[in-house]
């Protein structure tokens, strides 16, 4: 009797697994054909160069020219700040499920791949169609680029307020420095702008910018990227902007 029950249960489980696989396969096929027209993710490669350069790209109808910094030339503090701030990118429920289940880079670069995919879609579409398109674009980004390249692409392309894109332009504007020269406090401040560049502007809302900077510093400390002494020093440092319009 027990053997018969186990046999029936085993068949039921096998049928359920087969049905789940069929549904998943159908969804993947549907996703592929339903989101056939996607932005070209290959063009993002220019934001992960081997040498410093300038990149010109079209962003929702406007042409933007930005200086880009190779990942190899970003100092350890900037890299750590970018990783610490990645968890603040909120991709939405469906895309979060994709990241949790399928993203090979979810521990570093996965959230940024979703953000990059979202930024590639400039014009409003049907909500489900756009969400699925963003997921598929993120899959292509993660297949074509390494985690380091994804972080570099995002850092060089992200909007940082004051009509600036990219960490190099932000460093020059807010601190009159190159990105590779940023210290812990400065790197955390600029990377903290990712969440809401206008609302966290260090010029218009210095208190908010400092609070956000300190959150990023705490994230760097939690990940072991900096010592508690360095974190405390960075959090206690004043907001010393050197605004440059050039």
* Per-domain boundaries in the chain: 35-236
Residue 196 has pLDDT above 50, yes or no: yes
- Three-class SS of residue 197? coil
Q: Does residue 173 contact residue 162 with C-beta atoms inside 8 Å?
A: yes
Neighbouring residues of 132: CB distance < 8 A, sequence distance ≥ 6: 31, 34, 35
> In this predicted structure, what is the pLDDT of residue 107?
47
The closest of 112, 111, 113, 131 to 121, measured between CA atoms, is 131
- The mean of the pLDDT values for the chain is 82
Q: Does residue 48 contact residue 149 with C-beta atoms inside 8 Å?
A: yes
The model's pTM: 0.77
Q: What is the per-residue DSSP string for 10-64? A: HHHHHHHHHHHHHHHHHHHHHHHHHT-----GGGGGGGS-SS-EEEEEEETTEEE
Q: Write out pLDDT tens, residues 173-187.
A: 999 999 999 999 999
35-236: which CATH number, 3.30.1360.200, 1.10.3720.10, 3.30.830.10, 1.10.3810.10? 1.10.3810.10
């Amino acid at each position: 009797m027990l053997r018969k029950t186990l046999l029936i249960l085993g068949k039921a489980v096998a049928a359920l697994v087969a049905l789940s696989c069929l549904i998943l396969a159908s969804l993947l096929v549907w996703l592929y054909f339903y989101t056939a027209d996607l932005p070209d993710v290959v063009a993002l490669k220019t934001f992960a160069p081997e040498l410093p350069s300038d990149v010109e790209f079209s962003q929702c109808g406007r042409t933007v020219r930005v200086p880009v910094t190779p990942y190899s030339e970003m100092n350890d503090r900037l890299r750590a700040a970018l990783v610490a701030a990645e968890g603040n990118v909120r991709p939405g429920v469906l895309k979060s499920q994709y990241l949790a289940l399928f993203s090979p880079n979810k521990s570093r670069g996965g959230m940024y791949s979703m953000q990059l995919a979202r930024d590639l879609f400039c014009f409003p579409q049907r909500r489900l169609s756009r969400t699925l398109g963003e997921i598929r674009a993120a899959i292509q980004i993660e297949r074509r680029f390494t985690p380091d390249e994804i972080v570099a692409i995002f850092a060089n392309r992200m909007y940082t307020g004051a009509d600036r894109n990219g960490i190099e332009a932000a460093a020059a504007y807010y601190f009159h420095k190159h990105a590779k020269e940023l210290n812990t406090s400065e790197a955390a401040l600029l990377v903290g702008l990712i969440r809401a560049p206008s609302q966290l502007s260090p010029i218009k809302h210095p208190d908010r910018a400092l609070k956000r900077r300190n959150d990023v510093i705490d994230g760097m400390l939690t990940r072991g990227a900096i010592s508690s002494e360095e974190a405390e020093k960075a959090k206690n440092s004043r907001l010393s902007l050197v605004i440059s319009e050039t």
